[in-house]
Every structure is written in C-alpha cells, then in structure tokens.
Amino acid sequence: GGDVKQLTEDIFKSFDQLDASAQESVIVQLLARKKMNAMQERVAGEQGGGRGKKKMWKRSPSSNVIDAKEAPIQSPNFGVTLGSILERERASDPDARVPQIAVLLTRAVLILGGCTTEGIFRISVYTQDLTDLQQGIEASNPEDWTKIIFESPHHPAALLKLWLRSLPEPIIPFERYDDCIK
C-alpha cells in the first residue's frame, strides 16, 4: 500500500539527488549489463538452452566488483542496525530516510528488469559473487557504488536479501509486529 509507494518515491528521490554523471554511470552500466544478459540468453536459446531447460547463471568475473579483498570496511551496512546506518548517512544528508544500500539494490533490481524476471528472490547467485559484492560495498563509500556492475537482476536481489537478513533488528520492530499483521 502506501508504505511501499512512499519507499519507492524515496528511492527515486535519492537517485535524483545524485549528480548527473553518477546517474548516467549507474544507468549506462546497468543497461549495458541487461543488454549483455539478453544476448547471452538468446545465444543459449539458439544452442538448445531454451524453454524447459534449467537456467544456470554464469559466475561473474571478479573484475566487475570493486577490489575489496584486503580493503578495510569504509561504511558498514551489513550486520548493523538501520538506526546506525541512517545516523551515519544523516551526517552528510540530514533528510535521509532510506539507507543508500536499499536505494542502490532496489533500483538495480528495477533497472535490470527484476519485476519481470522469473524467481527474482527465489533464484540465488553463486556464493562467491555475493561475497565479492558485499565486500565491494563494505570496502567503499556510497559514491563509489556506481562502479559495481551487476550481472543480472538476481545479483542485487540476492544482496538485498542478505542485507535484510543481516539486520540485527527486524524491519518491523517486535513491539509493532502484532499491529502490522492485523
């Protein structure tokens, strides 16, 4: 209902606050990746991997993520509370209402066609891909997140699930849970 609509509006508003070159970089990378995935699917279909066959996602090359193997954590987003994330982000943007990681991942899912992708939150990705993406985000500042290239909409969707699961406190606080399910 209204909460989803408001969250969507907040996500698009956050994207709109990026400067034009950052917006262009995000969009160009995501659209290029989407086009490449479509071409790969078409080739797989021509080689007999079409309907009725199990789709296997290729492991993404590690060069597509920020090199984070030994980098220190710059902005922790996994395993910390929403309150601490927003408190840190409000230091630079007092109007922040949605964590930038939620904006990044949700927008990437939408731009890569996640709304029309079968099993978007059911089909996962290789564990190493997920680890590389998580480390890339943790080892960089939000301004650098535009350098991350997602191979498919399943990558940001899996990372969003991981982020949500890693929150020490649920999105809906325990004391409000009964009110929410009524």
> 121-140: per-residue pLDDT in tens?
998 899 999 999 999 888 88
Give the burial string for 142-177 (b: 16+ CB within 10 Å, else e).
Answer: beebbebbbbbbbbbbbbbebbeeebeeeeeeeeee
pLDDT grade for 102, boundaries at 50, 70 and 90: very high
pLDDT at 117 over 50: yes
pTM: 0.61
Q: What pLDDT is recorded for position 56?
A: 34
Q: How far apart are CA 145 and CA 175, in angstroms?
A: 34
